[in-house]
Amino acid sequence: MPDPISLAGRFSIVELTGQLRQIELLGRALPYQRVAFGGSTNSKLTFYPGNPSGTMQVLASSLEPTVIQGMWKDRFVPGQVEAVGFDGLSPGDTATASLIVQAFEELRRSGQRLRVQWYNVVREGILSRFTPTWIRPQDVEWEAEFTWFQENVEAPRAGDEPPDDRPALRRSMDENDRAFRSTRSRSVSSGFRAALGALIRSERVQLAQMFSALNAISLTLPGPIVDLSGPVGGLAAAASTIRDEAERALVLLTDLPYTEATIVDSVLGVLSAESWRRTVGLTQDGLAASATRVALREAERNVGALGQTVVVPGDTTLRMLSLRYYGTSDSWQIIADANGLTDSLVRAGTTIYIPPQRSR
């Protein structure tokens, strides 16, 4: 039976401090396999006189650095990297070897605490070394070393994290583009293609706005007070525009007589053009539905996302507030981080911001 880690489809790095950036390597961008996540326990064995059995004293445990290696090629990395917060690595097939190297160099220089996950292995540490070896401008071999603070960090369960809607939105737009480009230009009038193409380009622009809003929402981690009304509102506005443009495209695709849409008189040419119009209509309908679904889901998810403030009464600690608002006293550090505090004890009368439960 293969090692489970060989079945893992993504290698994830999330900044827990600093700019809270994220990057995930998929498919052809993944590190090479056979990665060691080792550790050791320091102990002292003592044999006392007259006692045939030794006494073992466990002193401490330590985590060994993990070194990963791989290769990035411009031919293969587009669509294989999901990143938030790095220049150039925007949603879509924008990844290049140079941009990924730049992102890893930024993580190394920042020295921020990172959460790294590959399959069920989750550790926290820093990227202590990163070495790119350029073969040519488009191809680079690389090696990265992580130094760990903590192991066996609880990995988020599938049901705990909201779904990432960006891949589904991209697929809907890509399917629409492929359908639009699938017919031969000589069977469809240039004016019809131009009008429909203008609507599709407008949808592309609005989709980029949706990606920007989703990125802004995904970056909302435990920290200072963040108003999500802007990103959520922008998401809804972009989705509404996509829906309007899709409706215009559907009217154009269904209501325009075939004599104006096609420039050929043959039966096969007309049938081909009409089949193309139906196919594009279906993909337009799917894109509008996908955009609307994402906007509604984010709006529902972020209701009350501003959290709330409380005035701390006497004899109340952050642990007690955590138990009251989160159901567990162990999440007090989230409240402390959001208010710039380092201790669970606070002075009576202090106004404390309680981050929304989704921040946990």
Sequence spans of domains, the chain: 4-150, 166-301, 308-359
β-strand pairing of 81-84 with 22-26: antiparallel
Secondary element (H or E) of residue 250: helix 229-255
Tokens of 345: 């004890």
Helix, coil or strand: residue 126: strand
Question: Buried b vs exposed e over 252-290: b needs ≥16 C-beta within 10 Å?
Answer: bbeebeeeebbbeeeeebbebbeebbebbbebbbbbbeb
**Under 8 Å between Cβ of 92 and 83:** no
**Under 8 Å between Cβ of 85 and 48:** no
Q: Which residues contact 191 (CB under 8 A, 6 or more apart)?
A: none
Fold classified for 308-359: Membrane-bound Lytic Murein Transglycosylase D; Chain A (3.10.350)
Would you give per-residue pLDDT tens digits along the chain (360 residues)?
Answer: 344 444 556 788 988 887 778 888 888 888 988 888 888 777 788 887 877 777 777 766 788 899 999 999 999 888 888 887 787 776 556 789 999 999 999 999 998 989 898 877 888 999 999 999 999 999 999 999 999 988 765 544 444 445 566 777 888 888 888 888 876 555 677 777 788 889 988 998 888 888 887 777 765 543 333 455 567 777 778 888 888 888 888 888 877 676 665 665 666 767 777 787 888 888 888 888 888 888 777 766 664 444 566 777 766 788 888 877 776 777 888 888 877 777 788 877 677 777 765 444
For the whole model, what pTM was predicted? Answer: 0.44
CATH for 166-301 (1.10.10, 2.40.50, 1.10.3470, 1.20.58): 1.20.58
Tokens of 115: 């959460």
Q: Which residues contact 352 (CB under 8 A, 6 or more apart)?
A: 309, 310, 311, 312, 318, 321, 335, 339, 346
- In this prediction, residue 141 carries a pLDDT of 96
- In this prediction, residue 162 carries a pLDDT of 52
DSSP type of residue 123: E
Asked: is 4-150 a CATH 2.40.30 domain? The reply is yes
**Under 8 Å between Cβ of 290 and 174:** no
Q: How far apart are CA 250 and CA 283, in angstroms?
A: 10
Q: Which residue has the tokens 């060691």?
A: 36
Whether 4-150 shares its CATH topology with 308-359 is answered no
C-alpha distance across the termini of the chain, in Å: 36
Q: Provide φ and ψ at 136, rounded to 5°.
A: -160, 170
Tokens of 184: 């031969």
